[in-house]
């Protein structure tokens, strides 16, 4: 193949390897060369393992020569978000506490990707313990946005997004609590899916009954996102919310027309402040959806309980997951995580019960909305990619942010509803920074959401084709 292999889709690369047009070793070598050239500037890939990856690529090629394929990702390079265990590889969580920790076993998502033939070239950088919408930590440093190295790549899947958008990886896994797939997808001009809870099962410790934190894909197009979903989805006996449906449902998707669809449009998700360029891009997206034949239904969406729901269960999750580290290593944990845990320690039973009841009402309110419409269109982010020197934005359009994650409420309010959401590219700012929008679908309607996304990406093909030029 004469094309630069790092510019091809994961689907195209997988087919080329399967048909022996190109070898896995060639594909992995090309991506390793790309990592070597630009990762020093971007800092997306950490715990790098090029020699091991090349050896595994040769093993994949030996299998291919015998007519054996391990699965849909056979011979493709991946790097795993540094919150997920990869056996024999460092998993640091971006924390100095775990800077030398070597995982003993693969996490469920890694097992599925490896069983499907993927080759792990390293990990992708994260904020400390995945906390915040900006990827930096004191183990590996800052991940920079390939479109502008002075700007944030988002978080917490910022390393994953920066690696995919710059061609260091064909696709990547991410996780999303308050927007950790959708935010970096928007910042990186990528497709990012927050699936329905249980669609991508996890056996991680903690409250397995909480639908807040989910795993999902980041990719340069919807077909690649669906490809990864076909591998990482499926039931898991250790996950009580696990959806008993095989990942094969994500194979062979076809564009679903906007013509005849009814799309609810929320300009600001309950009065959130937005950067003026984000607001303009979201309004333009609504007009484009109408041009595609959809009936746009402007709504004043009642999300009055969403912040209580999200913030209560977020803090409880962090108290459960990181209270011990804070107690044992107070000097090695950043203040924002300490804040989250300290808030949880003040919660009364009455507040927790109110948040649980509010979550149920939100879920039912959104499900009722989807009785009348097919999709919800809304802003994905509230801000443009911000300077890497900031820990987080402290104001938006003149409105002060009261907490470190307040600038992500456009994502976290959707998290509180438990509905799946798809971040899609929409536009670029006047300064050349990507802006995404999110489409929200009914509970468990992940396939339909991606199929609508396929139609959307055809309409914004010029935006999606605009890849960053990172100086080597």
By CB atoms closer than 10 A (0-12, 13-18, 19+), residue 209 is exposed
Which pLDDT band holds residue 303 (cuts at 50, 70, 90)?
Answer: very high
Domain count, the chain: 1
Instruction: Please tell me what DSSP assigns to residue 372.
Output: T
What is the C-alpha separation between 285 and 280, in angstroms, rounded? 9
CATH number at residue 158: 3.90.1300.10
Whether pLDDT at 26 is above 80: yes
User: If you average pLDDT over residues 306-334, what whole number do you get?
Assistant: 97
pLDDT tens string 93-138: 999 999 999 999 999 999 999 999 999 999 999 999 999 999 999 9
Instruction: Please tell me what DSSP assigns to residue 67.
Output: T
Q: Evaluate whether residue 388 is within a structural domain.
A: yes
Q: Which two tokens stand for residue 113?
A: 């990707």
User: If you average pLDDT over residues 387-394, what whole number do you get?
Assistant: 98
Q: Evaluate whether residue 401 is within a structural domain.
A: yes
Whether pLDDT at 316 is above 90: yes
**What local confidence, expressed as pLDDT, does residue 1 receive?**
54
Would you please indicate which residues are annotated as catalytic (active-site) residues? Answer: 81, 156, 180
Q: Evaluate whether residue 360 is within a structural domain.
A: yes
Q: Evaluate whether residue 383 is within a structural domain.
A: yes
Instruction: Please tell me what DSSP assigns to residue 71.
Output: S
Domain ranges, residue 409: 5-464
Strands (E), 301-410: 375-379, 395-396, 399-400
DSSP lists the bridge partners of residue 46 as: 123
Whether pLDDT at 472 is above 80: no
**What local confidence, expressed as pLDDT, does residue 448 receive?**
98
Whether pLDDT at 293 is above 90: yes
User: If you average pLDDT over residues 197-216, what whole number do you get?
Assistant: 94
Inter-residue contact 24 to 64 (CB < 8 Å)? yes
- Residue whose tokens read 């690529």: 57
Whether pLDDT at 33 is above 60: yes
Instruction: Report the chain's mean pLDDT, rounded to a whole number.
Output: 97
By CB atoms closer than 10 A (0-12, 13-18, 19+), residue 429 is middle
Whether pLDDT at 346 is above 50: yes
Q: Evaluate whether residue 145 is within a structural domain.
A: yes
Q: Evaluate whether residue 470 is within a structural domain.
A: no
Q: Which of 425, 408, 421 is nearest to 376 (CA)?
A: 421
Q: Evaluate whether residue 82 is within a structural domain.
A: yes
Whether pLDDT at 2 is above 80: no
Whether pLDDT at 454 is above 60: yes
What is the C-alpha separation between 390 and 232, in angstroms, rounded? 34
Q: Evaluate whether residue 471 is within a structural domain.
A: no
**204 or 149, greater pLDDT:** 149
**What local confidence, expressed as pLDDT, does residue 3 receive?**
63
User: If you average pLDDT over residues 167-181, what whole number do you get?
Assistant: 98
**Cα 331 from chain centroid?**
29
Strands (E), 105-170: 119-124, 136-137, 141-142, 144-145, 148-152
Whether pLDDT at 190 is above 50: yes
Quote the pTM value: 0.98
């Amino acid at each position: 193949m004469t094309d630069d292999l790092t510019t091809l889709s994961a689907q195209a690369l997988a087919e080329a390897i399967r048909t022996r047009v190109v070898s896995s070793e060639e594909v992995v070598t090309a991506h390793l060369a790309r990592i070597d050239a630009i990762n020093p500037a971007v800092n997306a890939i950490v715990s790098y393992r090029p020699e091991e990856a090349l050896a595994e690529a040769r093993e994949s090629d030996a299998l291919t020569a015998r007519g054996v394929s391990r699965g849909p990702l056979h011979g493709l390079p991946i790097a795993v978000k540094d919150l997920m265990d990869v056996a024999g590889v460092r998993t640091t969580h971006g924390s100095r506490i775990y800077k030398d920790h070597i995982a003993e076993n693969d996490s469920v998502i890694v097992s599925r990707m490896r069983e499907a033939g993927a080759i792990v070239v390293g990990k992708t950088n994260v904020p400390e313990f995945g906390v915040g919408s900006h990827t930096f930590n004191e183990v590996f440093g800052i991940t920079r946005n390939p479109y502008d190295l002075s700007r944030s790549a988002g978080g917490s899947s910022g390393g994953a997004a920066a690696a995919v958008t710059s061609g260091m990886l064909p696709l990547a896994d991410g996780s999303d609590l308050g927007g950790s797939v959708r935010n970096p997808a928007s910042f990186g001009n990528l497709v990012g899916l927050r699936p329905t809870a249980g669609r991508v099962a996890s056996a991680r410790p903690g409250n397995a009954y909480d639908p807040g934190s989910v795993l999902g894909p980041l990719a340069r197009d919807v077909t690649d996102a669906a490809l990864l979903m076909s591998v990482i989805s499926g039931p898991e006996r250790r996950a009580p919310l696990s959806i008993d449906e095989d990942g094969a449902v994500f194979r062979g998707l076809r564009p679903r027309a906007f013509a005849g669809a009814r799309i609810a449009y929320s300009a600001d998700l309950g009065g959130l402040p937005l950067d003026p360029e984000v607001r303009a891009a979201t309004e333009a997206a609504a007009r484009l959806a109408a041009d595609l034949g959809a009936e746009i239904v402007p709504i004043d969406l009642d999300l009055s309980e969403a912040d209580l729901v999200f913030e209560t269960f977020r803090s409880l999750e962090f108290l459960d997951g990181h209270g011990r580290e804070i107690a044992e290593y107070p000097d090695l944990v950043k203040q924002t995580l300490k804040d989250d845990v300290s808030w949880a320690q003040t919660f009364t039973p009455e507040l927790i019960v109110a948040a649980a009841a509010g979550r149920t009402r939100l879920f039912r309110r959104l499900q009722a909305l989807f009785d009348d419409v097919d999709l919800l269109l809304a802003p994905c982010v509230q801000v443009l990619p911000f300077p890497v020197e900031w820990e987080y934005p402290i104001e938006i359009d003149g409105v002060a942010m009261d907490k470190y994650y307040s600038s992500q409420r456009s994502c976290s309010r959707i998290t509180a509803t438990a509905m799946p959401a798809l971040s899609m590219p929409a536009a670029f700012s006047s300064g050349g920074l990507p802006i995404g929008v999110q489409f929200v679908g009914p509970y468990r309607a992940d396939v339909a959401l991606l199929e609508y996304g396929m139609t959307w990406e055809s309409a914004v093909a010029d935006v999606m084709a605009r890849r960053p030029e990172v100086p080597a």
